[in-house]
A and B are shown apart, each in its own frame.
Chain A
Amino acid sequence: NAGVMQNPRHLVRRRGQEARLRCSPMKGHSHVYWYRQLPEEGLKFMVYLQKENIIDESGMPKERFSAEFPKEGPSILRIQQVVRGDSAAYFCASSLGQEGYNEQFFGPGTRLTVL
């Protein structure tokens, strides 16, 4: 059973470009979460999605960031017009259910570097 897949593992963008991060959840999981890890910090919740629905985006910056989880295909985290402060590791997690006792399985992350 393949784990959570993320690609690319490393992404380099220049300021003003767009970054698209992809996440394929574990088989059978319909709940997807995105977290951001800044250097020397813990992970911070960004958004929670189910198929075709954004359930909670309270942790997502209001501008330039968007997320989707289409009916078919991976979940996408999109960052428009990247700035240096967007440099971070972005982790995707998936779970069987949304209740807190359900384990969230994490992918290996995408490390975004903005030049």
Chain B
Amino acid sequence: AQSVTQLGSHVSVSEGALVLLRCNYSSSVPPYLFWYVQYPNQGLQLLLKYTSAATLVKGINGFEAEFKKSETSFHLTKPSAHMSDAAEYFCAVSRTGAGSYQLTFGKGTKLSVIP
């Protein structure tokens, strides 16, 4: 069974400051890992994904995440926050192999950006 833990349901940063959203996972097999962003009343949009290639993954809108197997972590970062980054962010995991289509999501982290 897989699970995802996102530390901090709410994170506030100042505009221009570093964004760090934490995600830890548990999986009995090597996982695929994803970060999604959700704007109010909209669906989820994929920011980036890890599928066992490079451990540092670059995504859209300046976000990146690093897969650290020893720490079972996949934290999301962005060097400089922008007002438009205010949204809810979800980390998700799926197994590799059979059943890999089934995404398991964390509870989400709401990011606020202070002017």
Give chain A's interface residues, CB within 8 Å of chain B.
Answer: 4, 6, 31, 33, 35, 40-45, 48, 56, 58-59, 91, 93, 95, 98-109, 111
Task: Judge if B105 is at the interface, Cβ distance under 8 Å.
Answer: yes
Q: Nearest Cβ distance between residue A47 and chain B, in whole angstroms? A: 10
Partner of A106, one of B43, B51, B100, B106: B43
Q: 25 A-B Cβ contacts within 8 A?
A: A4-B43, A6-B43, A31-B101, A33-B101, A35-B103, A42-B92, A42-B108, A48-B101, A48-B102, A56-B99, A91-B43, A98-B100, A99-B101, A100-B32, A100-B51, A100-B96, A100-B100, A103-B49, A104-B101, A104-B103, A106-B44, A108-B41, A108-B42, A108-B43, A111-B41
Give chain B's interface residues, CB within 8 Å of chain A.
Answer: 4, 9, 32, 36, 41-46, 49, 51, 90, 92, 94-96, 99-108
Query: In the complex, how many residue pairs between chain A and chain B have their CB atoms under 8 Å apart?
Result: 72
Which residues from chain A contact B103 at a C-beta distance below 8 Å? 33, 35, 43, 45, 104
Which residues from chain A contact B102 at a C-beta distance below 8 Å? 45, 48, 56, 58-59
Which residues from chain A contact B49 at a C-beta distance below 8 Å? 101, 103
* Closest B residue to A109 using CB positions: B43
